[in-house]
Amino acid sequence: MSKLHKIDNFNRFKELRNGLILMLISILLTICICEIYLRIIDYPMKEPKCYYLVSKPSLKSQETSFAYHDNSKVRQLSVCEGGGGLNIIFDITFQTNNLGLVQRSNIISQKQSIVIIGDSFTQGEGAVPWFYDLEKKWQSNEYQLVNLGITGTGILQWYDTLQWFSKIAKIKHIYFLFISADWERPRWYAREDLGSKGLFLWDDSRGDFEFWKNKIPPDMIFIGKDSDQETILSNLHNIVSDSTILRAKNYLRNSYLVRMVYGLRNKIKNDKIFDQNKACFEKIITRYGAQNITFFHIPVGKEVSQGVYDATGRQVRDLILTRNIAYIDGLALCGLTGEDFLPLDGHPNESGYSKILKCLLRSLP
């Protein structure tokens, strides 16, 4: 190879190297500019990270039985990051009935039932379950009240829950207590990790369960029924610190640009899940009849403060109304304010649940 040819190759290498360096610098500058821009326009701040802890036995698998364990006492905590540390938002214990439902009265087989179904707001998470007060106020001997509220569930879950319950007792009327986000929730199954550290609420979109279960903390971490709060916080801190993936995710959550990209990805995923929930909604109407269904739209704290449901909530409201189904507008009728919700966690507090109960009572038979 001639000396001149070697010089040409070296020059081309330098040009390629310089081009790559320039491109890398341009990418980094673009990222920095985007990050600064998003901070200037005040892109929505990250939501506080909250952890949920529960005693054993707790949730069943949600495959064939849609409840907690029968006749059990369940302790549940919410711990959220804030002020540079971990804060206990609530620490409550509730009792389940003969089916594992969060209510005091037992279910009588084949009796006509008024079913109230929903997510953690229906379960009453964050306070003494409001359903206990509803049972005290219930005057009818003809129908039994049934609480099919389970944390983290949505339309897809509720369809299967209703099928399960309809084999146990007769359904007279169904009240769906929902928040806007319920229509963007997948169908999940409760799965315990090998180390018995907690439950994963696993769905198909999260990938291979066997791969992830020992790499991230469970969605609901197990605690002792009598464990003191100091020990619980210490153990939680250790679990979170041991998870490299979780620490990396928490670090990236501080980036506005990462949150924007993550939000766009979630939008695509949520749109797909919304369509699945919408199709399931149609199946529910066909199976149980529009005249036997009432939808109770409960606003979350952000919707209350803004005075309007989010885009998904408005879409859901219009969908329900076009099908001529009874609809309770909780934002307009329940008088909820920002003070009716727990800080950081977002669930209603005792006063919030009291207002939800009053709203529901006005429409019960």
Q: What is this structure's pTM?
A: 0.84
Please report, for the chain, the start and end positions of each structural domain, with discontinuous segments joined by +.
1-42, 97-218+243-361
Q: Are 51 and 217 in contact (CB under 8 A)?
A: yes
Q: Give the containing element (helix H, strand E) for 288.
A: helix 256-288
Q: What are phi and psi of 138, to 5 degrees?
A: -75, 125
Mean pLDDT, residues 75-87 taken together: 89
Task: Tell me the C-alpha distance between 179 and 312, whole Å.
Answer: 10
Specify burial of residue 278 (Cβ count, 10 A radius: 0-12, 13-18, 19+).
middle
Q: Would you call 206 helix, strand, or coil by DSSP? A: helix
Looking only at the bridges linking them, the beta strands covering 170-178 and 293-297 are parallel
Quote the pLDDT of residue 38: 45
Specify burial of residue 20 (Cβ count, 10 A radius: 0-12, 13-18, 19+).
exposed
Looking only at the bridges linking them, the beta strands covering 189-192 and 198-202 are antiparallel
State pLDDT tens for residues 231-261.
Answer: 999 999 888 776 655 555 555 555 555 555 6
Among candidates 264, 340, 271, which has minimal Cα distance to 300?
A: 340
CATH number of the domain located at residue range(s) 97-218+243-361 in this protein:
3.40.50.1110
State pLDDT tens for residues 83-101.
Answer: 778 899 999 999 999 999 9
Q: Would you call 110 helix, strand, or coil by DSSP? A: coil
Task: Tell me the C-alpha distance between 266 and 246, whole Å.
Answer: 18
**pLDDT above 60 (res 54):** yes
User: What is the chain's mean pLDDT, rounded?
Assistant: 86
